[in-house]
């Protein structure tokens, strides 16, 4: 059975799976083609009968969820938008970038600050076109980048041109990372949107994000925010979803009810609230979430005779890991594959060993000068920030003592990416021979003041 999976940039990938395969098998094959190990951040989306966006349940069979004969049409999308510095692979970061770019153009992500919008458009231009070379093609393509983000005026085009020129020499991965950092500061970053009606018949826009539940009344133009700790219980039946809410004193306050366009849409909202909470707010996925299931008629009849039968069993949730577990799982895989070092000292050691191998195996063919250049390059790469992979390592994280990132990235971190301990202080360090004399002089001057 063939499945055609589209990316946010409209490129389509085809995979062949067993007719009885579940969604996870399809997603794994797509991520393998994209060289993505951080699979837990992604999901497969499809359109329902009422044109609603629905997540494929990765633990259930594909053919039980999609109507019509194969090939099935799916979309790979980011399901859980983690902060950019938690993304380990450039291939994963690129998919995040593609989706953020799409959501900016579609006004799913809204940028209210014009200066920020200009900067984000310039970063997209650097990622898409490379360095500014003042040719007519780049200037004409600017108009596409403005769509949905900022008003296309001569003044704004000139400002983007200047910002783009200032980014000269910035690599595509670095530009994408910087754009994601800007996007992560937006209020609705990582928000999953649902549309419904409340008990009064008002049109409601519901946003489910990492921090909680947001209800926008489109009729009366009011907004209500409900953090996850205040949600006592979420239930759904047929086309309705009901939330029981605590007040600030921890006592039951009221009930919020929503009616959606279809039963599948109601199930999607129920799943979204539960899975977002589990992924971003829990240390591990609770057993009552991972084991919750329903049965079809045939399975219900069979369970009367054997309650442990898997016949007709359909899992409600497909989340496997929390944010922390997903990060640690991906890092272990990359470390096993020798793609991500566990610390800078290990990285320096492995690079040194590799350089020695080059020296002994190719000494007859490679000049001594070329060997030294390779060793210097390895050392420089070893002292590159493990978060942005662009600037030099400049800080030590306290109290754990790991020396892994630059000053700018260290200021954004709350936990050490290696040991996950809380960062209490960031200590500036100087590494001789790697950072220039100018950096050293700045440090000395700052200490004197």
- Tell me: the pLDDT tens digits for 11-42? 999 999 998 899 999 999 999 999 999 999 99
Average pLDDT taken over every residue of the chain:
83
What is the spatial distance between Cα 123 and Cα 172, in angstroms, rounded to a whole number?
A: 9
Tell me, rounded to whole angstroms, the distance of Cα 229 from its chain centroid.
Answer: 23
Residue 396 belongs to what H/E stretch? strand 395-398
What is the spatial distance between Cα 82 and Cα 97, in angstroms, rounded to a whole number?
A: 12
Residue 130 gets the label, from left (phi > 0), alpha (psi -120 to 50) or beta, of left
What is the spatial distance between Cα 373 and Cα 367, in angstroms, rounded to a whole number?
A: 10
Structure tokens at 36: 């993505």
56: in domain: yes
Task: Based on the fold, state whether residues 389 and 357 are members of the same structural domain.
Answer: no
**316 or 363, higher pLDDT:** 316
The DSSP bridge partners found for residue 36 are none
DSSP 3-state of 3: strand
- Give residue-wise pLDDT tens across range 226-274: 888 888 888 888 899 998 888 766 676 788 889 999 999 999 999 999 9
Task: Based on the fold, state whether residues 55 and 126 are members of the same structural domain.
Answer: no
Mean pLDDT for 59-87 is 92
Task: Based on the fold, state whether residues 91 and 56 are members of the same structural domain.
Answer: no
126: in domain: yes
Task: Based on the fold, state whether residues 213 and 249 are members of the same structural domain.
Answer: yes
Structure tokens at 102: 């799409």
Task: Based on the fold, state whether residues 200 and 277 are members of the same structural domain.
Answer: yes
Confidence (pLDDT) at 379: 67
Confidence (pLDDT) at 106: 92
CB 190 within 8 A of CB 109: no
Task: Based on the fold, state whether residues 425 and 355 are members of the same structural domain.
Answer: no
Task: Based on the fold, state whether residues 63 and 119 are members of the same structural domain.
Answer: no
Q: In the 8-state DSSP scheme, what is residue 393?
A: P
Does 436 have pLDDT greater than 90?
Answer: no
Confidence (pLDDT) at 233: 85
Looking at the structure of the chain, the number of domains it has is 5
**294 or 371, higher pLDDT:** 294
Strands 313-315 and 2-6: unpaired
CATH number for the domain spanning 65: value is 3.10.20.90
Q: Determine the structural domain holding residue 414 and report its residue range.
A: 384-449
- Give residue-wise pLDDT tens across range 342-367: 433 333 433 343 444 444 444 444 55
CB 392 within 8 A of CB 384: yes
313: in domain: no
How far, CA to CA in Å, does 145 sit from each of 215, 244, 293, 345, 448? 30, 42, 44, 42, 46
Task: Based on the fold, state whether residues 100 and 120 are members of the same structural domain.
Answer: yes
Least confident of 20-34, 61-75, 321-335, 405-419: 405-419
Is the Cα dihedral 164, 170, 176, 180 positive or negative? negative
- Give residue-wise pLDDT tens across range 157-216: 889 989 999 999 889 999 999 999 999 999 889 999 999 998 888 899 999 999 888 999
pTM score > 0.85 for this model? no
> Last residue of some domain: 244, 267, 285?
285
Task: Based on the fold, state whether residues 73 and 152 are members of the same structural domain.
Answer: no
CATH number for the domain spanning 411: value is 3.30.40.10
Phi, psi of 114 (to 5 degrees): -65, -40
What are the DSSP E strand ranges found in 198-251? 203-208, 212-217, 222-227, 231-237, 240-246
Task: Based on the fold, state whether residues 350 and 395 are members of the same structural domain.
Answer: no
């Amino acid at each position: 059975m063939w499945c055609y999976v589209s990316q946010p940039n409209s490129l389509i990938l085809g995979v062949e799976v067993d007719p009885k395969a579940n969604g996870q098998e399809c997603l794994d094959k797509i991520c393998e083609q994209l060289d993505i190990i951080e699979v837990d951040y992604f999901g497969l989306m499809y359109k329902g009968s009422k044109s609603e966006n629905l997540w494929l349940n990765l633990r259930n069979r594909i053919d039980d969820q999609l109507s019509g004969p194969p090939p099935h049409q799916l979309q790979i999308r980011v399901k859980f938008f983690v902060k950019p510095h938690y993304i380990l692979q450039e291939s994963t970061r690129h998919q995040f970038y593609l989706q953020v770019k799409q959501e900016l153009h579609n006004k799913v992500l809204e940028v209210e600050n014009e200066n920020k919008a200009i900067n984000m458009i310039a970063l997209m231009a650097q990622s898409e076109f490379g360095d500014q070379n003042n040719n007519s093609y780049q200037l004409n393509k600017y108009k596409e980048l403005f769509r949905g983000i900022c008003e296309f005026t001569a003044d704004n085009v000139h400002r983007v041109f200047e910002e783009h020129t200032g980014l000269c020499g910035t690599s595509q991965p670095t530009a994408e990372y910087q754009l994601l950092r800007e996007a992560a500061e937006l209020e609705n970053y990582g928000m999953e949107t649902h549309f419904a009606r409340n008990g009064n018949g008002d049109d409601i826009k519901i946003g489910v994000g990492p921090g909680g539940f947001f209800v926008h009344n489109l009729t009366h133009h009011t907004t209500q925010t409900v953090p996850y700790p205040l949600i006592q219980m979420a239930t759904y039946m047929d086309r309705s979803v009901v939330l029981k809410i605590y007040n600030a004193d921890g006592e039951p306050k009221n009930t919020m009810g929503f009616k959606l366009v279809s039963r599948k849409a109601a199930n999607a909202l129920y799943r979204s609230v539960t899975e977002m909470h589990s992924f971003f707010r829990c240390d591990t996925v609770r057993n009552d979430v991972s084991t919750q299931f329903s049965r079809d008629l045939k399975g219900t009849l069979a369970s009367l005779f054997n309650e442990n039968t898997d016949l007709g069993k359909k899992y409600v949730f497909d989340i496997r890991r929390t944010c922390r577990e997903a990060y640690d799982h991906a890092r272990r895989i990359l470390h096993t594959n020798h793609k991500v070092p566990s610390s800078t000292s290990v990285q320096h050691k492995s690079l040194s060993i590799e350089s020695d191998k080059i020296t002994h195996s190719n000494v007859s063919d490679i000049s001594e000068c070329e060997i030294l250049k390779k060793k210097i390059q390895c050392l420089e790469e070893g002292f590159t920030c493990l978060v942005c992979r662009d600037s030099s390592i400049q800080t030590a994280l306290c109290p754990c003592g790991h020396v892994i990132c630059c000053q700018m990235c260290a200021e954004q971190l709350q936990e050490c990416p290696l040991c996950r301990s809380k960062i209490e202080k960031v200590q500036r360090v100087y590494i001789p021979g790697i950072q220039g004399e100018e950096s050293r002089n700045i440090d000395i001057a700052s200490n004197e003041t």
